[in-house]
């Protein structure tokens, strides 16, 4: 199947302001691209790209004073398969984990493992290690937090999401990540495009956040917000938590004037 994805964002700055964006699909999907990810700015603004320490594609530019529209659109091929489940997947002892997994075991800006550790062990320490325990964590988070766009707060941490029991997809992801790390299971934050392919349309199109967990020697997808297998995820960025993968980084004041995202399947 083919999936069309894109965004139309306008920011307003009082003066020329350096910015970064993370809006492009990761390089791993390059072979799936059928219509290149075209990026247009208005007024026309010079941009450059680079890969950050996590392998995310970052676009760098100076936003001119006034309004700047950033528009991107592309199409890629997808298998059309649902997220796979590997119920036999096992947790790997910390001593045997690859070096590059260890960073996803420790606390980070939004995932306070030190303050959630006892809660995690009390709730999940008795469960059989492996896929089933991670799914139990996601089931708990899915049921514990009530979703609502009106409840979004950029500073909410995993512990605050646990205590307040409200949030948006990033809060579900942060709490699930923190609880997994408390159980010595590497977990990382993912954001990207996830359209309503194969499911009822419930929410306006938006960028989504989910998680990846390291089991049986590979990273696998879990989604505590939706908590059902989905079709057509397009990963934009991965990191320790949302602090590593902001859609827009502004090195000076700016106002987000408009924000529109689209992701849907198209006829080949």
Q: What is the pLDDT of residues 54-83, one digit of tens each?
A: 999 999 999 999 999 999 999 999 999 999
CA dihedral (186, 192, 196, 200) in degrees, to 10, reads: 50
How confident is the prediction for the chain on average, in pLDDT?
Answer: 95
Q: Tell me the pTM.
A: 0.95
DSSP state, 82? B
The verdict on 110 and 165 lying in the same domain is: yes
Looking at the domain assignment, is residue 85 inside a domain? no
Residue showing tokens 């950033």: 70
Question: Can the peptide bond before residue 153 be classed as cis, meaning omega within 30 degrees of 0?
Answer: no
Domain count, the chain: 2
Q: What is the CATH number of the domain that holds 196?
A: 3.10.620.30
Would residue 89 count as lying in a domain? no
* 168 vs 175: CA distance, rounded Å: 11
State residue 36's pLDDT score: 79
Co-location of 28 and 54 in the same domain: yes
pLDDT of residue 92: 98
**Tokens representing 232?**
């057509």
Q: How confident is residue 199, by pLDDT bands cut at 50, 70 and 90?
A: confident
Measured CA to CA in angstroms, residue 168 lies from 53, 67, 79, 211 at distances of 26, 28, 28, 14
| Lowest mean pLDDT across 188-192, 254-258, 263-267 | 263-267
Say yes or no: 100 and 117 in one domain.
yes
Domain with 146 in it:
94-244
List Cα–Cα distances, 125 to 11, 129, 133, 137, 173, in angstroms: 46, 9, 9, 11, 20
């Amino acid at each position: 199947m083919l999936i069309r994805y894109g965004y139309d964002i306008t920011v307003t700055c009082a003066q020329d302001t350096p910015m970064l964006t993370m809006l492009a699909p990761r390089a791993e999907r390059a072979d799936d691209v059928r219509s290149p990810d075209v990026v247009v700015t208005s007024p026309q603004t010079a941009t450059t790209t680079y890969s950050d320490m996590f392998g995310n594609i970052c676009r760098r530019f100076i936003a001119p004073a006034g309004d700047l529209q950033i528009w991107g659109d592309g199409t890629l091929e997808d298998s059309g398969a649902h997220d796979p489940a590997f119920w036999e997947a096992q947790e790997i002892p910390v001593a045997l984990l690859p070096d590059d997994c260890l960073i996803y075991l420790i606390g980070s800006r939004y995932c306070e493992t030190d303050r959630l550790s006892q809660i995690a062990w009390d709730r999940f320490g008795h469960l059989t290690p492996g896929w089933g325990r991670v799914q139990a964590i996601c089931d708990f988070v899915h049921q514990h937090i009530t979703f609502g766009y009106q409840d979004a707060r950029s500073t909410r941490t995993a512990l605050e999401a646990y205590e307040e029991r409200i949030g948006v997809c990033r809060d579900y992801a942060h709490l699930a990540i923190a609880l997994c790390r408390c159980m010595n299971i590497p977990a990382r934050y993912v954001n990207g495009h996830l359209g309503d392919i194969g499911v009822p349309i419930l929410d306006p199109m938006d960028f989504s956040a989910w998680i990846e967990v390291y089991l049986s020697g590979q990273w696998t997808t879990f989604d505590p917000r939706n908590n059902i297998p989905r079709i057509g995820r397009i990963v934009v960025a991965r990191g320790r938590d949302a602090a590593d993968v902001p859609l827009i980084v502004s090195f000076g004041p700016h106002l987000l004037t408009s924000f529109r995202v689209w992701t849907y399947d198209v006829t080949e």
